[in-house]
Structure 1
Amino acid sequence: MVIKTYDAFTRLSTMEAERFANFLFHHQEGKRAEKQAIRKAIQYCTKDIPGLGGYVFSMEEKDEILGLAVVNKTGMGDYIPENFLVFFVVHKDHRDKGIEQKLLDYTLQYCKGDVAVHITSGNQCPNKHFFEENGFNETHMEMRLNR
């Protein structure tokens, strides 16, 4: 089992980025993000679109993706965490094998500064308890005006 890190310096090929987007799209739970939004978060990490960048962490075994974490840097601090964990997805066939913990530990060790994760409201996010067990806590409720 290997965890690979991708960012603006260790770029993803177009094919690999699409492979990651497909994995995240098909294995996410709760409120589903559109594939275009997933691609955009990945492109932001690798600076294929303008921004501060971030990281994509891929846990794989024998070319099979077991889990992915996508972190966008915010450029903030103090009032908004420096890192936003946009996607954290483990393949459904590999859950409850400690993969979530290994991937999160690696992600948190690699990222400097505070880390935020958005949990969808209601019972749509089965891993809320997992994040709470790892030190994440509710700080506020977000409301959004979609235009």
Structure 2
Amino acid sequence: MPTPFDTLFNTFFSMIEKDLDFFSYSNVSNDEAMVIARSRARDYLLEAATKIKLTTSSDIDFNVDVNNETMCDDLTMTEINLLASLMKEKYFERDFSLLKAFQIQFSPKDLQVFSPANERKTFMDMFESIKRDNAVLMDNYSSRDRSTGKLKTIDYQAYQFE
């Protein structure tokens, strides 16, 4: 049974619920803000699914049905959490790009006046931590059977050694 995007969105939203900027927009009603938030989350989901496809070995393909807003597979809780964590990484990756642009925009003298160095360092450290945590999650996911959660092993007896 396919997994609805809403399941993934809700998990992702709970991870970033304290970030009010994600959910509030100027001159927009709450309903319209949620439509925008869901659209952004959809983009992060597509990027997260692509990242999993390219970097892990899995028994499923992580294909999406954009028209029906579902993942084609019946995802496990582990897979839902992994996708939501990668969505969070993609979300902060956008801010990281803006941070890089901000650094280039101001001269070192300007930055001394505004002194956002601590905020930049804190954000960069947090972003790197999210990326490291996700790399560990993907490695752990790749090394386990998706349905049982047991570690995958190699049956050496199936090979003949001479």
User: TM-score when scaled to structure 2?
Assistant: 0.24
User: TM-score when scaled to structure 1?
Assistant: 0.26
| Structure showing greater Rg | 2
Relative to its length, the structure with more helix (as a share) is: 2
Between 1 and 2, higher relative CO (CA 8 Å, sep ≥ 6) is seen in 2
Relative to its length, the structure with more strand (as a share) is: 1
